């Protein structure tokens, strides 16, 4: 899930902009034939910042392994079911991650 999200250019760009509070971002998607949207961003929350830091590390590092410790810790704060390292479905992680970031908006 995280590797797929790291290859989503719109998400990476939006998170890059989101780290600067008070910024207005224009989201365009010509391939979806949707009108551009302007969104004013508030101070990002801890989950959003952890996601930004993780995606930045994934893109900019020469390391072979990137560990999402801080991102996972923030997900666990929003969704207690992930504590304890039991096996979870990847779609559940995606849902809690994106819902948690949206709740911080």
DSSP string of 52-99, one letter each residue: HHHHHHHHH---S----HHHHHHHHHH-GGGTT-----HHHHHHHHHH
State mean pLDDT over 13-35: 71
| Separation of alpha carbons 86 and 68, rounded Å | 16
| Separation of alpha carbons 64 and 58, rounded Å | 10
Please tell me the pTM assigned to this model.
0.73
What is the structure's pLDDT at 32?
64
pLDDT exceeds 80 at position 42: no
What is the structure's pLDDT at 62?
75
What is the structure's pLDDT at 70?
92
pLDDT exceeds 70 at position 80: yes
| Separation of alpha carbons 55 and 15, rounded Å | 9
């Amino acid at each position: 899930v995280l590797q797929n999200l790291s290859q989503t250019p719109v998400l990476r760009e939006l998170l890059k902009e989101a780290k600067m509070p008070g910024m207005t971002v224009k989201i365009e998607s010509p391939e979806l034939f949707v009108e551009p949207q302007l969104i004013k961003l508030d101070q990002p929350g801890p989950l959003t910042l952890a996601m930004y830091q993780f995606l930045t590390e994934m893109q900019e590092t020469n390391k072979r392994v990137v560990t999402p410790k801080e991102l996972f810790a923030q997900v666990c704060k929003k969704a207690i079911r992930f504590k304890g390292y039991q096996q979870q479905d990847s779609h559940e992680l995606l849902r809690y991650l994106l819902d948690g970031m949206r709740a911080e908006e």
